[in-house]
């Protein structure tokens, strides 16, 4: 059976890599793990771009597909007043997100959820994601459509992707669902897209 980082229970052998990252003047320590995006000794470039571009719209943030926790934990570190929730379907990702939050003394909520399935009617001011393009177009269209329903008025959806490797489809879908989309960052083929739920 093929295993992906968006599998619920990865069966690959556990291999860990510990590293420190410094973004926007804040250093955090992480342990990444095989079977969870993105395994290595650095935060992936796309996630870094999203972290550096992000500015909060309110006080509640949701990180979708949190992996080992890089995006959500950096948002909490950079904006301590934010209430940060982090979700993933991958149980190994959830375990390492919790471990990394403890390592960095950052209080976040880590939830097992397939997109919004465990969040019922919860509302957030910002939703962020480095979405799993390899999981398919249908899943990412659902992510964008359902994100709209879970955003507060004037809340924002932030997505990052390689523009020529699925990002353009994300951008077009964000435009259709939200009626607006803006490139917040362009770097090395990577784009950070932002849509606002305007009322």
- Is 54 among the domain residues? yes
Look up the domain containing 163 and give its range: 44-196
Residue 25 lies in a domain: no
1 or 171, which is more confident: 171
According to the model, what pLDDT value does residue 132 have?
A: 82
Flag whether 30 is in a domain.
no
Within a domain: 170: yes
**What CATH number does the domain containing 98 carry?**
3.40.50.150
> What is the spatial distance between Cα 198 and Cα 55, in angstroms, rounded to a whole number?
17
Task: Give the chain's mean pLDDT.
Answer: 93
Q: How many domains does the chain have?
A: 1
Based on the number of CB atoms within 10 Å of its own CB, is 173 exposed (0-12), middle (13-18) or buried (19 or more)?
Answer: buried
Between the alpha carbon of residue 72 and those of residues 11, 67, 76, 85, 166, the distances in Å are 25, 10, 6, 7, 23
- Residue range 150-167: average pLDDT? 96
> Quick check: is 129 in a domain?
yes
Q: Is residue 50 part of a domain?
A: yes
- Contacts of residue 18, Cβ cutoff 8 Å, sequence gap at least 6: 29, 30, 31
How many angstroms from the chain centroid is the CA of residue 52? 13
Q: What is the pLDDT of residue 4?
A: 40
Quickly state the pLDDT bin for 8 (edges 50, 70, 90).
low
pLDDT tens-digit readout, 45-97: 999 999 999 999 999 999 999 999 999 999 999 999 999 999 999 999 999 99
């Amino acid at each position: 059976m093929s295993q992906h980082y968006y599998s619920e229970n990865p069966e690959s052998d556990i291999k860990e890599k510990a590293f420190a990252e410094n973004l926007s003047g804040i250093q955090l320590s992480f342990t990444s793990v095989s079977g969870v995006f993105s395994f290595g000794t650095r935060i992936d470039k796309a996630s870094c771009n999203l972290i550096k571009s992000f500015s909060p719209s309110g006080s509640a943030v949701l990180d979708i597909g949190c992996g080992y926790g890089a995006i959500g934990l950096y948002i909490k570190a950079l904006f301590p007043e934010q209430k940060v929730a982090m979700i993933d379907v991958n149980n190994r990702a959830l375990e390492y997100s919790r471990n990394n939050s403890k390592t960095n003394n950052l209080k976040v909520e880590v939830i097992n959820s397939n997109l919004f399935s465990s969040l019922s009617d919860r509302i957030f001011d910002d939703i962020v994601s480095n979405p799993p393009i390899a999981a398919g177009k249908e899943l990412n269209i659902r992510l964008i459509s359902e994100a709209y329903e879970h955003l507060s008025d004037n809340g924002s959806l932030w997505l990052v992707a390689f523009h020529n490797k699925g990002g353009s489809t994300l951008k077009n879908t964000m435009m259709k669902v939200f009626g607006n989309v803006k490139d917040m960052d362009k770097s090395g083929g990577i784009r950070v897209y932002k849509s606002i739920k305007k009322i």
